Structure 1
Amino acid sequence: MSRTLVFLCLGLWCLVGVETDYVKPAEAMEGDSVTLHTGVTQIHSDDLVLWTFGPNDTHIAKINRGHGEIVHDKADGRFRDRLQLDNQTGSLTITNTSTRHSGPYKVDIITGNKVSVKTFSVTVYASLSIPVITSYSPSNPSSSETPSSSRCVLLCSVMNVTHVTLSWYRETSLLSSISIPELNTTISLHLEVEYEDNNTYSCVLNNPISHQARHLNISDFCHATACVNYAHGFIEDVIRLVISVLVGVATVAVLIYDIRSRRV
């Protein structure tokens, strides 16, 4: 009977006054609680409060003081044991939120021949992990590089993220960044630095309401041994070249001596 009353009241919107209000979007991290306020100070005994969720206006909660308070969970179980209704104001609280609770919400407050409608947009962000940083040395440095200018590549990575931005900073200066709007994916961002760089670098993962950062010194990730190994290899190449030249000169000298000896 109460359901029939709800649909009957909604069907009579064209015959009564309707006031629609769009509320500022609400944002939260996973595990937080979000309260959607009706803006009403007191629900009267003959008022009907109807809460819906999603693009299909799935009925999730209602208050009809004349018939008691009923909380539904028809949205595939995602709201089970997570909804709380304020009996006096009709405000709705979602507790222990997850990303599945992101989306549009609407409350219809029917008072006599007046219908007040408020719409809400809720975004719940997943918890951010601390970025992981790895380093490696370029395998084939260019011929123009000297051992003192060898470079190290830092790679900052995060897994399974959505609605985030990954950035490299030197001190407080932004060097590069990449954003992931929708897809739940893994992203990486590289940075090339010199071994002898004494600046402090940070890899920062953030969304609109939270961030995680990994700070580092170049010496902690880019060890001088790589530079030494490169220098050692360079010296070995020079030694091989010198030996080859000396062997060639000695060979020519022996041939000349042999030819002169035969002539004598």
Structure 2
Amino acid sequence: MKNDDWIQWRFGNTLIAEINKRDDRITVYDDVLDGRFRNRLKLDKQTGSLTITDIRTEHAGDYKLQTNSVEKSFNLFVFVEISVLEGDSVTLNSDLTEMKDDDLIQWRFLTEMTLIAEINVTADRITVYDDVLDGRFRDRLKLDKQTGSLTITNITTEYAGLYTLLINSAWKFFILHVFVEISVKEGDSVTLNSDLTKIDVDVIQWRFWTENTVIAEINKQVDRITVYDDVLDGRFRDRLKLDNQTGSLTITDVTDEHAGDYVLIIMTTKQSLKVFRVSVYGELLKINNDTIFFKSCCAAKIIYQLSL
């Protein structure tokens, strides 16, 4: 910033931070708006950039930067990220305690741009559109008439994606990850199924999500199949097999360092995700009808402790 520069940051129409170089003044107004920004604003005195820490959905909205030479606007979306195991239920919370007389709530499965539920208090109407999208939500949606929160029961991977809640004119966004849970014995192989019968998409990419690392991909656009088995200190070396017809991934001779979360990203006209949580167990030992998991290297120690 130059000696005569000034910068103002606004959330909507509310001033939240400013720098006046001429008066050598830096001010953060983090107690405005019921203190939602308290202890969360950091203003860079050299560049004037504004950082918001520990983001909440109440911080979503329109931000405006105004200086003595330029104006710039930002629209900030805040996603609530939820992970759930296949077969479980999940509730997407509206954060309302009760609805007002003129409230309108609409839930959309935004991945498919489809309205799936709504409450119109003025018309005294509650509607669940569970027959849309080939009936994938049929008998699985429960809408709380007091709060507007939406519960999805008996989750499968086809429910993973982006959901939006519109309350009158305010938005709330949810990203739902659905995990397929797989247990595999150490030394065995495990196959992560893509559920595709043939590859008619642009790109299939496998990531070891625990380390956010690409380990395999098929790119149909350039007709290339690649296995990155030397990443992560070579823990996957000579262990990855990628099915060139379905895109399914097999990991052979599994050890506990292969345990974790894997994500399949399918890219075509739109992107879809499938997530796997792999756990690795050791040998089985039966003592007094109880089953105990252990690694062979620790077997003698465990038996000794149990005998005591």
- TM (norm. structure 1) is 0.51
Report SS of the residue matched to 2:105.
strand
Q: 2:184 aligns with which of 115, 130, 138?
A: 130
Deviation at 1:129, TM superposition (A): 3.4
- Distance in 2 of aligned mates of 1:59 and 1:218: 53
The residue type equivalent to 2:282 in the other structure is H
The residue type equivalent to 1:109 in the other structure is I
- Distance in 1 of aligned mates of 2:97 and 2:209: 43
Residues 126-205 of structure 1: matches in 2 within 5 Å? Answer: 126-131=180-185, 133=187, 156-161=188-193, 165=208, 176-177=235-236, 185-190=248-253, 202=256, 204-205=258-259
Unaligned runs of 5+ in 1: 1-17, 134-155, 168-173, 192-200, 220-264
Deviation at 1:92, TM superposition (A): 0.8
Q: Judge conservation of contact 2:105–2:118 (CA < 8 Å) in 1.
A: yes
Q: Which residue of 2 aligns with 1:103?
A: 161
Deviation at 1:105, TM superposition (A): 0.3
Q: Judge conservation of contact 2:240–2:251 (CA < 8 Å) in 1.
A: no
Deviations 1:163-182 (A, max 9, x none): 67499xxxxxx9824789xx
Q: How many residues align?
A: 160
Instruction: Classify 1:21/1:88 alpha carbon distance in 2 versus 1 (closer, same or farther; 3 Å).
Output: farther
Instruction: Classify 1:59/1:179 alpha carbon distance in 2 versus 1 (closer, same or farther; 3 Å).
Output: farther
Report SS of the residue matched to 1:70.
strand
Q: Which residue of 2 aligns with 1:78?
A: 136
Which structure is richer in relative contact order (CA contacts within 8 A, separation 6 or more)? 1
- 2:114 maps to 1:47: no
RMSD after superposition: 3.6
Report SS of the residue matched to 2:183.
coil
Instruction: Classify 1:57/1:166 alpha carbon distance in 2 versus 1 (closer, same or farther; 3 Å).
Output: closer
Unaligned runs of 5+ in 2: 1-59, 62-75, 195-205, 211-232, 263-275, 284-294, 298-308
- Distance in 2 of aligned mates of 1:62 and 1:105: 13
Q: Judge conservation of contact 1:108–1:118 (CA < 8 Å) in 2.
A: yes
- Distance in 1 of aligned mates of 2:150 and 2:278: 28
Deviation at 1:132, TM superposition (A): 6.7
Q: Which residue of 1 aligns with 2:23?
A: none
Instruction: Classify 1:175/1:214 alpha carbon distance in 2 versus 1 (closer, same or farther; 3 Å).
Output: farther
Deviation at 1:54, TM superposition (A): 3.0
- 2:172 maps to 1:118: yes
Q: Which residue of 2 aligns with 1:231?
A: none
Q: Which residue of 2 aligns with 1:206?
A: 260
- Distance in 2 of aligned mates of 1:39 and 1:166: 30
- TM (norm. structure 2) is 0.44
- Distance in 2 of aligned mates of 1:33 and 1:164: 26
Q: Which residue of 2 aligns with 1:88?
A: 146
Q: Which residue of 1 aligns with 2:126?
A: 69
Percent of aligned positions with the same letter in both sequences?
Answer: 31
Q: Which has the higher helix share?
A: 1
Q: Judge conservation of contact 1:164–1:179 (CA < 8 Å) in 2.
A: no
Deviation at 1:108, TM superposition (A): 0.7
Deviations 1:138-160 (A, max 9, x none): xxxxxxxxxxxxxxxxxx41123
Report SS of the residue matched to 2:181.
coil
Q: Which residue of 2 aligns with 1:144?
A: none
Q: Judge conservation of contact 2:183–2:280 (CA < 8 Å) in 1.
A: no
